[in-house]
Structure 1
């Protein structure tokens, strides 16, 4: 009995190496696949679901951003067209106002020229009437001066 016991120990020592193929290998394989399935159900599938949801949300956000950018571009083009039409209308209106201003200047200049001519003619006619009136008075004034000088002779200052 003693002789078989050491050989039994030697047999046990040979087994249990790193790559022993015996009855424990299928049990280890079953445990490994069970562990993979449990991890898959508990950990991997929920993480994949969350990642898919996140990816879909990012895609939706990008699509919405593209749509929003397209709308912004359309609105910018519309604003540019409106601004251009406003500028065109403003330019037309400015030309109209400038032409009206020019016409008003011409009219006011003609009016002022007419008023100036009338005032000058009035002054000339007033001057003529005053001059004719004064011309009628000159002989009387000359007679008065002569009479004054006869009464009082001028003083010679030498």
Structure 2
């Protein structure tokens, strides 16, 4: 089984979470491809494998908790895209000092479900950089994806 992960990161927290997920998946003998959304990844190129699992990882932008610029083009292109049969997980990092903690995670999860994707796990929200508790949750997510 393989997993494809697309992410955006501003402070490095989301990138760290993605690296931990990648490592956990590899420890479970999974093939993993990681894409930085800022490289202009196209939706149809990302979701091109019927047998893969997918992960979307993002932080939330500002007080409104919006999808950040680094992945907003990917998000916009997802709107109305047929993801029927695709197994997807969503994770993100955020800061509870903002009014909408990890709102981009919820925004992505909602759109992915509307597009027909099957969410294989509850969206994972991580406070700032992954601590020991978050690392365990990331490992659990890897186990779910590898199952």
Structure 1 length normalisation: TM-score?
0.14
Q: Greater share of helix residues, 1 or 2?
A: 1
Structure 2 length normalisation: TM-score?
0.14
Q: Greater share of strand residues, 1 or 2?
A: 2
- Bigger Rg over Cα: 1
